[in-house]
Amino acid sequence: MPRKISMIFGASSMLWMLFAVSQAFKIEISPEYKIVAQIGTPISLTCSTTECESPSFSWRTQIDSPLNGKVRNEGSKSTLTMDPVSFENEHSYLCTATCESKKMEKGIQVEIYSFPKDPEIYLSDSVEVGKPVTVTCSVPDVYPFDRLEISLLKGNQNLKTQEFLEEMQTKSLETKSLEVTFIPINEDIGKDLVCQAKLHIEEIDFEPKERETTKKLQVYISPQNTVISVSPSKRLQEGGSVTMTCSSEGLPDPQIFWSRKLDDGNIQRLSGNATLTLIAMRMEDSGIYVCEGVNLVGKQREEVELIVKEKPFTVEVFPGPQISAQIGDSVVLTCAITGCESPSFSWRTQIDSPLSGKVRSEGTKSTLTLNSVSFENEHSYLCTVTCGRKKLEKGIQVELYSFPRDPEIEMSDPLVDGNQATVNCSVPNVYPADRLEIKLLKEGSIMKNKIFLEDVGKKSLESKSLEITFIPSTEDTGKVLVCQAELHIDEMEFELKQRQSTQTLHVNVSPRDTRILVSPSNILEEGSSVNMTCSSDGLPAPKIVWSRKLNNGNLQPLSENTTLTLTSTKTEDSGTYVCEGVNLAGRNRKEVELIIQDTPKDIQLTAFPSESVKEGETVIISCTCGNAPKTWIILKKKAETGDTVLKSTDGAYTIHKAQLEDAGVYECESKNEVGLQLRSLTLDVKGKGNKDYFSPELLVLYCISSLIIPGIGMIIYFARKANMKGSYSLVEAQKSKV
């Protein structure tokens, strides 16, 4: 093709050479030789002459086809205007100017093209990741299209380049397109689609030879990963609320629509917000809720099923279906309801007896207060709750017991070693008494126990006791006596089903072995002092009480000191002194005889009528002692073979019908523990024959009698010795003297 064009140009320059010979008269044409014009635009060719007054112009095409233009002559100028330029103008135009006889001609080649607009990019569809899309780039009204090259680029990547080299059948403006199909990927987001069109015509000059259109690649992602989260749960209770949040991914960000599937299959729009909160749910609100993520290229839906359950209407009783109450206590029975706004309450006993209590209902709660429960409250109480058309009933069984105090231990007081003692353990105000067991334990081992079956079914408060007798010993001291009372009611629950009291045993020992120590002796000489010390065993240690026994047998208390001291004694102090050991367990006494004596004085021995009597006469030998009635008088008849103690009455011995043998030495001895006096006389009995009788040995004895006096000291010695042993017997002392 370019070769053909140059041949045409070659011919026109030869024509120009032909006319160049004429002088002065000149012809010019502009533009010179050639003009490149785009189809549809106007162009003008101007032919002008110089050195000619009135030239005449004529225009023609080389091949004598119509001009397809308008000629305007004006003086030395002729203009051929082609408006617009079309295929018919693609010629070599010749302008002929005639000046008189001179004729001059000049030619100009009109070359045409068409490349008027930038390429246009079309997309078959929205650009969605993963979905094939066809991009069309079309370049309109191109001529000559066989020089056209179209390239389509995605970012920097060339998708396709095409040249349109097919033979042009006719001269026409053609719109050429390039089509590329590709599958968009995520990386395409933000890239440009570029369509480049190039018209390759090097031999003519025009602008632009290259046109380009850029289109931002608008990539879409259809909603995906649509997820619903439900808080707190898909299962709800009447009146509850739920928050559902839906999310969906896509480009552009999908819009979220919430709707609900109705039973008839229709959809009820709810919200255009991702978060849907439903409050005060009713059972009718159960159903399928749909979330739809929607954007320009698509939609995705997700469903969730909400189940609204009927709020249960429940009645609860407090403290429970059973309550154990102690007689006298206050009891509050509570009936509470959930799941009902405004319930109504009523209370009754199962056997329709009076309530004997106070009812107070407020809101969803009702209480029945039983002040100081008694046997008339031992019922099953029923609480009836009405809520709308629904009705519920719950019962509370009030069970009674009474076990208010610890057992009381009563023990015989004091406990005395070896003496029988009683222990009484009593438990007051018990109910039910037939369940009571009382046990008495000593040091953990059971002494006795008792149950009270005779009280079965008795509706009253009973006081029960258990008694034992036992003989305590000192070893029991410090041991613990426990009284245990147990109310055997397994079916009831309360504190203190067992109560107990304890008592520690203290066993006393009554006073015993009371002893008296007399110092120096219990037989004293008037004016001397004596210490009498008393001791007694027992637990607790006995107290000592000294007293003196009066004549009437009564005791005159003297001292509570262990030692009773008598100083400067007188004979009147003689008597019986009593020491008593006393403690709370008893008393024990010991007596001591105190003898205070004067030495015997003024002893007189006489014979009546005379110391010399005749055989057959009656003679009375009488001995008297001046002091101390206690003085003993012993009347004896001395003999070689041994003394004969005479049976005297008040110191007098009567000899009826004196015999010769009655003659002899008679001796009267007055002695007490502190001294001795002797008197003697010699009785002479004269025989009827006037014969005297005198025993020579009597004389010997008489002489000896004066030696007896020192013997008194001996008696005192014995008395003292006996006293030290704590007792004294005059008879013994006398025996030991002999």
Ligand X SMILES: *[C@@H]1O[C@H](CO)[C@@H](O)[C@H](O)[C@H]1NC(C)=O
φ/ψ (deg, to 5) at 49 = -120, 160
| Residues 266-285: x where in contact with ligand X by CB under 6 A, - otherwise, as a string | ------xx-x----------
CB 597, min distance to ligand X, A: 16
Residue length, the chain? 738
Question: Residue 610: helix, strand or coil by DSSP?
Answer: coil
CB 593, min distance to ligand X, A: 17
173 vs 270, beta carbon nearer ligand X: 270
CB 268, min distance to ligand X, A: 17
Q: Do the Cβ atoms of 138 and 61 come closer than 8 Å? A: no
82 is written with which tokens?
Answer: 């082609």
DSSP state for residue 688 in the 8-state scheme: T
277 vs 502, beta carbon nearer ligand X: 277
370 vs 438, beta carbon nearer ligand X: 438
Q: Which residues, at least 6 apart from 357, have a Cβ–Cβ distance to it below 8 Å? A: 333, 347, 368, 369, 370, 371, 377
CB 328, min distance to ligand X, A: 20
530 vs 663, beta carbon nearer ligand X: 530
Q: For the chain, give me the number of helices (H) and strands (E)?
A: 4, 56
| Residues 305-344: x where in contact with ligand X by CB under 6 A, - otherwise, as a string | ----------------------------------------
- The beta-strand segments (E) located in 100-208 are 102-113, 120-123, 127-128, 133-142, 148-154, 157-163, 174-182, 192-199
Beta bridge partners of 635: 668
271 vs 606, beta carbon nearer ligand X: 271
77 vs 720, beta carbon nearer ligand X: 720
| Residues 540-579: x where in contact with ligand X by CB under 6 A, - otherwise, as a string | -------------------x-x---x--------------
CB 467, min distance to ligand X, A: 4
Tell me: does residue 229 bind ligand X (CB under 6 A).
no
88 is written with which tokens?
Answer: 């018919």
The residues in 482-541 that bind ligand X, with binding defined as CB under 6 A, are 519-520, 529-531
Q: How many alpha carbons fall within 13 Å on the CB side of residue 508?
A: 17
Phi/psi region, residue 509 (left: phi>0; alpha: psi -120 to 50; beta: rest), is beta
CB 518, min distance to ligand X, A: 9
349 vs 723, beta carbon nearer ligand X: 723
CA separation for the pair 134, 122 (Å, rounded): 8
272 vs 418, beta carbon nearer ligand X: 272
CB 564, min distance to ligand X, A: 7
376 vs 408, beta carbon nearer ligand X: 408
225 vs 529, beta carbon nearer ligand X: 529
Indicate which single residue of 426, 576, 624, 734 sits in contact with ligand X (rule: CB under 6 A): 426
The residues in 432-471 that bind ligand X, with binding defined as CB under 6 A, are 465, 467
User: Pick from 378, 279, 376: which is nearest to 323 by CA?
Assistant: 378
619 is written with which tokens?
Answer: 């003679």
CB 456, min distance to ligand X, A: 21
CA separation for the pair 371, 60 (Å, rounded): 137
Question: Residue 145: helix, strand or coil by DSSP?
Answer: helix
CB 409, min distance to ligand X, A: 10
Measure CA 78 to chain center. Answer: 119
Measured CA distances, 44 to 68, 124, 675 (Å): 12, 43, 204
275 vs 419, beta carbon nearer ligand X: 275
285 vs 410, beta carbon nearer ligand X: 410
User: Pick from 706, 717, 626: which is nearest to 673 by CA?
Assistant: 717
CB 531, min distance to ligand X, A: 4
107 is written with which tokens?
Answer: 């030619």
422 vs 618, beta carbon nearer ligand X: 422
Q: Which residues, at least 6 apart from 342, have a Cβ–Cβ distance to it below 8 Å? A: 387
CA separation for the pair 209, 549 (Å, rounded): 169
Q: Buried b vs exposed e over 676-708: b needs ≥16 C-beta within 10 Å?
A: bbbbbbbbbbbeeeeeeeebeebeebbeeeeee
545 is written with which tokens?
Answer: 């009480």
| Residues 371-410: x where in contact with ligand X by CB under 6 A, - otherwise, as a string | ---------------------------------------x
CA separation for the pair 677, 660 (Å, rounded): 28
CB 243, min distance to ligand X, A: 10
User: Pick from 500, 384, 505: which is nearest to 440 by CA?
Assistant: 500
Q: Do the Cβ atoms of 20 and 62 come closer than 8 Å? A: no
38 vs 528, beta carbon nearer ligand X: 528
Measured CA distances, 507 to 424, 477, 672 (Å): 17, 5, 48
CA separation for the pair 203, 206 (Å, rounded): 10
5 vs 411, beta carbon nearer ligand X: 411
Number of residues that bind ligand X (CB under 6 A): 16
249 vs 467, beta carbon nearer ligand X: 467
CB 246, min distance to ligand X, A: 12
CB 697, min distance to ligand X, A: 46
Rounded to a whole number, what is the largest CA-CA distance in the chain?
A: 271
DSSP state for residue 402 in the 8-state scheme: B
Q: Do the Cβ atoms of 693 and 660 come closer than 8 Å? A: yes
Strand order from edge to edge, sheet including 148-154: 157-163, 148-154, 192-199, 210-216
CB 558, min distance to ligand X, A: 6
CB 427, min distance to ligand X, A: 9
CB 305, min distance to ligand X, A: 23
Indicate which single residue of 424, 535, 612, 736 sits in contact with ligand X (rule: CB under 6 A): 424
| Residues 572-611: x where in contact with ligand X by CB under 6 A, - otherwise, as a string | ----------------------------------------
Question: Site residues (CB under 6 A) for ligand X?
Answer: 272-273, 275, 410, 424, 426, 465, 467, 519-520, 529-531, 559, 561, 565
